[in-house]
Amino acid sequence: MLISNDKIHHSHGNGTFEIEDFKEIGENVIIEKGTLVFHPGRIKLHDNIYIGHYSILKGYYKNIMEIGEGTWIGQYCFLHSAGGLKIGKAVGIGPYVKILTSSHKEENNNIPVLHNPLEFKEVIIEDGVDIGIGSIILPGIKIGEGAIIGAGSVVTKDIPDAEIWYGNPARFHGKR
């Protein structure tokens, strides 16, 4: 809770959490020091997951963030699930990756973009995907099984199974 000018405002909280706060949590889940978790009651973590130091799991009051078994998430990642986020099994997510599931609509040019309504789009990352350090996955993207996203990429289109994409914007560069 924030207080300013004698009015009370509610925030998303400070990101602290207890294990029992999660919607579901499996065995052998490692959440490193400094990780912030918002709305843990909307987050499912399966078995054998690693979440690196200072990452942010930004749950939302609706929709679910689900992270599959054996997934590894590097330090300083930002995972957002306002539009829904499903990460499959054995996914590697490099440090500093950002996964976004909402953006402001551009429907009224007479007001600041910030004041336009939010648009929510689910992100799906299938089993065995590898996402390189510093990549950004935009709302509504589906990354197919076994795909590789090169370091520093900005993913603006769906990626088919077992394809290699990199760049800004990410483009097709081969098959596995």
- What's the pTM? 0.92
Is 12's pLDDT higher than 70?
Answer: yes
Residues 63-84 pLDDT 10s: 999 999 999 999 999 999 999 9
If one looks up domain 18-105+115-171 in CATH, what number appears?
A: 2.160.10.10
What residue spans define the domains of the chain?
A: 18-105+115-171
pLDDT, tens digit, 9 for 90 and up, residues 90-117: 999 999 999 999 999 888 788 888 888 9
Question: What is the pLDDT at residue 96?
Answer: 98
- The per-residue DSSP string of the chain comes to -EEETTEEE--S--S---GGGSSEE-SS-EE-TT-EEE-GGGEEE-SS-EE-TT-EEE--SSS-EEE-TT-EE-TT-EEE-TT-EEE-TT-EE-TT-EE--EEE----TTS-GGGSPEEE--EEE-TT-EE-TT-EE-TT-EE-TT-EE-TT-EE-S-B-TTEEEETTTTEEEEE-
Residue 104 catalytic?
yes
Q: One of 10, 39, 104, 173 is an active-site residue; which one?
A: 104
- What's residue 2's pLDDT? 45
